Structure 1
């Protein structure tokens, strides 16, 4: 069995009941219950190209109520890059207390090297990053190597989409896997796909999954694993866990991650799962699909909304 470091993966089980009344029109229904909000980016606030106006309105209303909001993203890039991109899209960053990305968490863990497995990684790194972005390794005292077979570890940070396909990366992974055992990989974006406009593009998590099948060990720093939640909860401060809700569109990452860490989850259906949740369907089929996803991933959301809106 290939190793995944972060947490054990949720297993399948019998469908759990899901109450249809937890499918609500917007976050205003349950906003008074929560003081801390962890909000996903892609599929919730924007589609990679534009902000969703209703989501920005909801964000503004939550901020006006005194909620502490942390953006929690499986972006393999560092937090500053994400903030700059959000500002370019038109988001007022004063609405959020902090941005926590899996890329920033990976950078911090590789910088500090205080705990295993990061403490034990070597310095020779084969980097797979988006369009040559080197900020993800800036200041890390790494030797970037050109041959993945010669690396102490692979760093799966980003991919060149939509320009490249998964097939373009297979020779690199195969080359690394020639070594026995293969060098471990740090994956700072566990997502296998991400919304991009009206469609989807593959993400580094897809490469990580393939590398695992080749026998490689993968260390995940993003949702649903512990390191990113430790950082996010620290940014929320002293808010009790029962007063925190995490909003996201990925059942596997957002819902599982929230439940695993003792938080309420709000599932947004019109993100990566939108084909499974047609907007013209009545609540009963939605509840059945949510129960099936809950059985598959071992977690259920507290709330369900179509989109982030008030």
Structure 2
């Protein structure tokens, strides 16, 4: 079966990539089972409708697994002692202009914190919340509903200050509904919750990633398809997430990187010469039209 990423593989957030619709149809016609795996903070419902609007045949896919759906499931079911002990008071970093993520049905208490510098509610006291929940990068949810917009850099400063204030004591864990650092949106890039998780983690805060490359999302795919890891082939565009996920989920992996040097190394501060060291288990490299680079991986275990 193929695990297909959405953004950067099938489409750019607005339009399908040339040949993507035909490739999906051909793969399904050849008997391949196709499942969408996406670091989207949204729940799975509506994903296939969006793909249909871009020209994809929803009947080609067996389902959708998103990091947002996984987040909702774990917060709802609390499947183990870590989740059961997470608490209910959360600082919710959300979307605003891109459409807020809903917490309906999760019985969570949203903690806004205090006001600072007129930029919206900003928390610097770790005791004000049990955990941090990151669905977006545009603001903080309010207890009565709605989202107070907070600039991205202000959110980063807030998380760093929160981590520093909690050193030596309990630091609230950060549950990240979308581990991506950036995503494509038409011709540009948009910062994703993974960029905030990186800031919090660097400051010493504990982080729980709910999507790629965490093994949680690959286990969910195996559950949907009822296949073992060695029977899955993942197609993705992110070196840091899709490629790294080979260790956790897939018997083999094909990574499609579009202009990876410009995107990944600049966003993540890595030098091009270090990429080989980062993914030293590459079995081969191919350069296609337009300088697009494909890495082919085999199971390193």
- TM-score (ref. length: structure 1): 0.74
RMSD: 2.7
Query: Is 1:232 the counterpart of 2:197 in the alignment?
Result: no
Unaligned runs of 5+ residues in structure 1 are: 1-35, 278-288
CA distance in 2, matches of 1:268, 1:293: 14
What is residue 170 of structure 1 aligned with on the other side?
156
Counterpart selection for 1:250 from 228, 231, 238? 238
Query: Is 1:159 the counterpart of 2:145 in the alignment?
Result: no
Counterpart selection for 1:133 from 84, 90, 100? 100
1:117 aligns to what SS in structure 2?
A: helix
Greater percentage in strand: 2
5 Å-filtered alignment, 1:74-93, equals 74-93=39-58
1:118 aligns to what SS in structure 2?
A: helix
CA distance in 2, matches of 1:226, 1:267: 17
Query: Is 1:67 the counterpart of 2:32 in the alignment?
Result: yes
Aligned-pair CA distance for 1:94: 1.4
CA distance in 1, matches of 2:229, 2:86: 33
5 Å-filtered alignment, 1:119-130, equals 119-130=84-95
CA distance in 2, matches of 1:170, 1:245: 35
Contact 1:74 1:103 in 2 (8 A): yes
Going from structure 1 to structure 2, the CA distance change for 1:64 and 1:274 (only over 3 Å counts) comes to: farther
Counterpart selection for 1:145 from 111, 116, 123? 111
- TM-score (ref. length: structure 2): 0.76
CA distance in 2, matches of 1:276, 1:154: 27
CA distance in 1, matches of 2:274, 2:153: 31
Going from structure 1 to structure 2, the CA distance change for 1:93 and 1:165 (only over 3 Å counts) comes to: farther
CA distance in 2, matches of 1:276, 1:122: 37
CA distance in 1, matches of 2:285, 2:80: 35
Counterpart selection for 1:261 from 240, 249, 264? 249
Unaligned runs of 5+ residues in structure 2 are: 114-122, 140-148, 265-271, 295-301
Contact 2:40 2:67 in 1 (8 A): yes
CA distance in 1, matches of 2:216, 2:77: 13
Moved over 6 A (4+): none
Greater percentage in helix: 1
